[in-house]
């Protein structure tokens, strides 16, 4: 029942896409299409939410479409339902936001038809129950998002981003195709149920793990496969950026969990070592690059890379515990990972919406041109600040809870028997803490430069507050961030059936604990009560304000800034984004970031201005991708000569090729 209702809703989304093609020139098209998407997302959210909370049975459905001997199989279990909640929550928020934001779109015909297909594709991946349906849905998702990235294709940067995206997406799908091929075995059992029941050889499982890491990891943005992400995510319109960063990466995580936790069977301990290594590097590299960006949306995209790293750290720990039959800690780590995935969908969408609002209001993506927007856009600034606190893992918001759970999981890992893990996990814990701290620095910089200070360019000085639909969407997301932060027990209990299905156990039920605390293992070990922390902070703030207003002077005078006696009216004297990042650039400087600060100081008496040039290059791009790309272009150049040969040479080439082939046949026989 739930499956057919879900599929019907997805069909409605596809129909909406067809409708969008027909009516995209009409003035009401934008509102109509996004309204339908919002409605469908809410329906899907309600369906998935009820099946997750009621812990209903796993539901199957086979439709006679797709490959003739296979059909299309669909299935909704707790894992699918949880990710459907994440995706449709993000989808609903993006559709609501787009009701306002979408009106600024210059060419709605390039966005409206693909947007519902994108939503449909993501939902379809989650309910697919055989490899063929999964891959088709996956490609639907990739191609529609690619089309959305190219919505503003006249911009040369966007066209380039789209090109790299389609290359990486095809590469990833190819890896997944091979992974499923290996899983299906020589008899071609493509249904997930059959794959689950089969036993696989050890080397094959390792190969599938690597392929899944490449396939799903490239979509999620795992280093070193993240290069497309900071290019493609910001290129799309902001509500689509939010969907790609906040939501599509979650579909990739779902794909990884489905293959590695569900289909592959009992994990080996060294798998977790590979994943933990990649994930912790991803987390730190992602946030370091985020800290260096001047484009607000690109900064957010790099921060997505970081958060994906954090989710994968949780998944790696869960695998390590599962491999050693430690079900309770595995449940804790797995819950932490899913909790963080949920949180990231909320606050990253919120931040992208805020960036979109800033972009609409000022037209500037470069944060060095912004500043002082808190006065012009107070409500956007407020919600953005909320998102900043959430993503920086600060209590009482939700980002802190998932990182806290992750630290608790790290603290359980000395019981792991393998030495490799014993030595690696403390370092992973340190990297996790480093990523969290750097993320706070990164978002203080982003908020401080964009919203605080004085306007650095006229665009920022004349900005106006964004429209009401966008604000409603952002405030809803902020409310959800706060709710997940102060009542985390509810979410942990909602994740419980997912963990029980995949790692064999779930965290102890949290709803029965008095006072809404969360207790991962035992109360003597650790507990956290978001509600009380929130209450404490609120009460002590109010008490302080009351006290100060009762007993202290309430006189207030506005005056020019003090600035040690030398205030300058020129906004260029403010700290810039680059100067804010300079200490971190210097500390992590040349090795990780390939950062160069070149100072060109004019000699005394020379009126020429001095110049400071800062270059930050992506070390992964330089070391892994640039050589490949160079090799390909050089080979292509060489082969290019073949285009301009005389007929004699072509004939001799054909003749030579024939001889070689015949020789080959002769030797083979």
Partner 1 sequence: MGLILDLAVQGVQMVLVLALAPLLLGLTRKVKARLLRRQGPSLLQPYRDLVRLARKEVVLAENASWLFRSGPYMIFAATWVAAALVPTFATGLHFSWTADLIAIAALLGTARVFLALVGMDVGTSFGGIGSSREMMFASLAEPAMIMIVFVVALVAGSTQLSHIAIFMQEHASLRVSLGLALVALVIVALAENARIPVDNPATHLELTMVHEAMVLEYSGRHLAVIELAAALKLLLYVSLIGCIFFPWGIASGEAGPTAYAIGVATYLVKLAVGGFLLVVLETSIAKMRVFRVPEFLGAALMLGLLGTLLLFVSRTF
**Interface of this chain with partner 1, residues 394 to 413, rule: CB under 8 A:** 394-395, 400, 404, 407-408, 410-411, 413
Q: Is 583 in the site for partner 1 (CB under 8 A)?
A: yes
Q: Tell me the chain's radius of gyration from C-alpha atoms.
A: 27
**Among 374, 592, 614, 624, contact with partner 1 (rule: CB under 8 A):** 374
Which of 79, 580, 593, 618 binds partner 1 (CB under 8 A)? It is 580
According to the binding rule CB under 8 A, does residue 561 interact with partner 1?
yes
Residue with tokens 């270059």: 615
Q: Pattern 416-435, binding to partner 1, x per CB under 8 A?
A: ------xx-xxx-xx--xx-
For residue 299, state whether it binds partner 1 (rule: CB under 8 A).
no
* CB closer to partner 1, 220 vs 288: 288
Report, in Å, the least distance between residue 567 CB and partner 1.
Answer: 7
379 lines the binding site for partner 1 (CB under 8 A): no
- Contact pattern from residue 489 through residue 528 relative to partner 1, giving x for each residue in contact according to CB under 8 A and a dash for the rest: ----------------------------x-----xxxxxx
**Cis status, amide bond into 434, omega within 30 of 0:** no
Neighbours of 297 (CB within 10 A): 23
CB of 549 to partner 1, least distance (A): 9
Q: Which stretch binds partner 1 (CB under 8 A): 125-133, 307-315, 333-341, 534-542?
A: 534-542
Told to check if 637 binds partner 1 by CB under 8 A, we report no
In 102-201, alpha helices (H): 114-127, 131-149, 156-184, 192-197
Considering the complex, state which of residue 468 and residue 544 has its C-beta at the smaller distance from partner 1: 544
Neighbours of 164 (CB within 10 A): 17
Query: Does the protein bind partner 1 through residue 564 (CB under 8 A)?
Result: yes
Q: How far is CA 458 from CA 295, 362, 363, 369, 661, in A?
A: 18, 9, 11, 8, 69
Using an 8 Å Cβ cutoff, are 162 and 149 in contact? Answer: yes
Does residue number 281 form part of the binding site for partner 1 (CB under 8 A)?
no
Alpha-carbon gap, residue 385 to 399, rounded angstroms: 13
The rounded distance, in Å, linking the Cα atoms of 445 and 448 is: 5
Q: 167-184 burial, b if ≥16 CB within 10 A, otherwise e?
A: ebbeebbebbbbbbeebb
> Between residues 251 and 438, which has the closer beta carbon with respect to partner 1?
438
Min dist CB 239 to partner 1, Å, is 27
Helix axes 156-184, 131-149, angle to 10 degrees: 180
Min dist CB 23 to partner 1, Å, is 43
Residue numbers 445-464 binding partner 1 by CB under 8 A: 445, 447-449, 452-454
- Say which residues have a Cβ less than 8 Å from residue 658's Cβ, sequence separation at least 6: none
**Cross-strand partners of 615:** 596
Q: Kindly tell me which of 76 and 300 has the beta carbon lying closer to partner 1.
A: 300
| Minimal distance, residue 407 CB to partner 1, in Å | 6
User: Is 536 an interacting residue with respect to partner 1 (CB under 8 A)?
Assistant: yes
Count the residues of the shown chain that bind partner 1, applying the rule CB under 8 A.
Answer: 87
Binding window for partner 1 (CB under 8 A); candidates: 123-131, 353-361, 542-550, 636-644: 542-550
For 438-503, give the DSSP string: HHHHHHHHHHHHHHSS--SSHHHHT--PPPHHHHHHHHHHHHHHHHHHH-HHHHHHHHHHHHHHHH
Query: Residues 646, 648, 650, CA angle at the centre, nearest 5°?
Result: 70
Which C-beta is closer to partner 1: that of 559 or that of 601?
Answer: 559
Query: Considering the complex, what minimum distance in angstroms separates the CB of residue 196 from partner 1?
Result: 35
Shortest Å distance, C-beta 581 to partner 1: 8
């Amino acid at each position: 029942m739930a499956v057919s209702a879900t599929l019907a809703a997805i069909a409605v989304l596809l129909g909406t896409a067809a409708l969008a093609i027909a009516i995209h020139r009409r003035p009401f098209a934008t509102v109509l299409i996004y309204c339908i998407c919002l409605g469908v997302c809410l329906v899907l959210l309600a369906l998935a939410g009820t099946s997750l909370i009621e812990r209903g049975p796993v539901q199957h459905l086979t439709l006679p479409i797709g490959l003739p001997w296979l059909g299309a199989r669909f299935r909704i279990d707790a894992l699918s339902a949880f990710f459907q909640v994440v995706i449709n929550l993000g989808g609903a928020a993006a559709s609501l936001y787009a009701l306002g934001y979408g009106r600024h779109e210059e060419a709605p015909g390039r966005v409206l038809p693909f947007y519902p297909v994108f939503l449909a594709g993501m939902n379809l991946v989650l309910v697919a129950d055989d490899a063929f349906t999964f891959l088709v849905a996956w490609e639907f998702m990739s191609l529609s998002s690619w089309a959305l990235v190219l919505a503003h294709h006249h911009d040369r940067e966007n066209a380039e981003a789209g090109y790299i995206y389609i290359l990486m997406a095809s590469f990833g799908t190819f890896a997944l195709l091979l992974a499923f091929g290996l899983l299906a075995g020589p008899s071609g059992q493509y249904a997930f149920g059959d794959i689950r029941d089969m036993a696989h050889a050890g080397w094959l499982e390792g190969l599938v793990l690597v392929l899944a890491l490449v396939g799903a990891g490239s979509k999620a943005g795992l280093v070193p496969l993240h290069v497309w992400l900071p290019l493609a995510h910001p290129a799309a319109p902001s509500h689509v950026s939010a969907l790609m960063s906040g939501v599509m990466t979650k579909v990739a995580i779902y794909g990884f969990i489905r293959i590695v936790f569900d289909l592959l069977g009992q994990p080996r301990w060294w798998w977790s070592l590979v994943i933990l290594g990649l994930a912790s590097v991803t987390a730190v590299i992602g946030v370091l690059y985020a800290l260096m960006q001047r484009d607000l949306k690109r900064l957010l995209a790099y921060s997505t890379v970081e958060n994906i790293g954090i989710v994968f750290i949780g998944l790696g720990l869960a695998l390590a515990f599962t491999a050693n039959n430690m079900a309770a800690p595995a449940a804790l780590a797995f819950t932490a990972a899913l909790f963080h995935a949920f949180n990231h969908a909320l606050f990253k969408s919120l931040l992208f919406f805020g960036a979109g609002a800033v972009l609409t209001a000022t037209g500037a993506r470069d944060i060095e041109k912004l500043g002082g927007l808190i006065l012009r856009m107070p409500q956007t600034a407020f919600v953005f600040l909320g998102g900043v606190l959430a993503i920086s893992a600060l209590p009482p918001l939700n980002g802190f809870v998932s990182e806290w759970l992750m630290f608790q999981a790290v603290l359980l890992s000395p019981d792991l028997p393998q030495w490799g893990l014993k030595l690696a996990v403390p370092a992973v814990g340190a990297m996790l803490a480093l990523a969290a701290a750097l993320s706070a620095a990164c978002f203080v910089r982003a908020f401080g430069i964009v919203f605080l200070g004085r306007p650095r360019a006229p665009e920022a000085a004349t900005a106006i507050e964004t429209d009401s639909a966008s604000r409603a969407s952002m405030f809803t997301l902020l409310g959800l961030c706060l709710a997940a932060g102060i009542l985390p027990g509810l979410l942990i209990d909602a994740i419980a059936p997912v963990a029980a299905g995949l790692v064999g156990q779930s965290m102890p039920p949290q709803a029965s604990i008095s006072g809404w605390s969360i207790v991962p293992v035992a109360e003597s070990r650790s507990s956290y009560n978001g509600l009380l922390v929130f209450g404490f902070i609120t009460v002590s703030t109010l008490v302080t304000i009351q006290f100060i207003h009762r007993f202290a002077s309430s006189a207030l005078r506005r005056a020019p800034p003090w600035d040690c006696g030398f205030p300058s009216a020129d906004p260029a004297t403010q700290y810039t984004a680059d100067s804010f990042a300079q200490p971190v650039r210097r500390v992590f400087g040349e090795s990780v970031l390939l950062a160069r600060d070149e100072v060109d100081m004019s000699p005394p008496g020379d009126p020429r201005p001095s110049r400071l040039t800062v270059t930050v290059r992506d070390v992964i791009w330089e070391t892994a991708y640039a050589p490949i790309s160079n090799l390909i272009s050089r080979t292509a150049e060489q082969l290019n000569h073949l285009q301009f040969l005389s007929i004699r040479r072509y004939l001799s080439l054909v003749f030579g090729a024939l001889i070689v082939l015949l020789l080959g046949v002769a030797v083979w026989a």
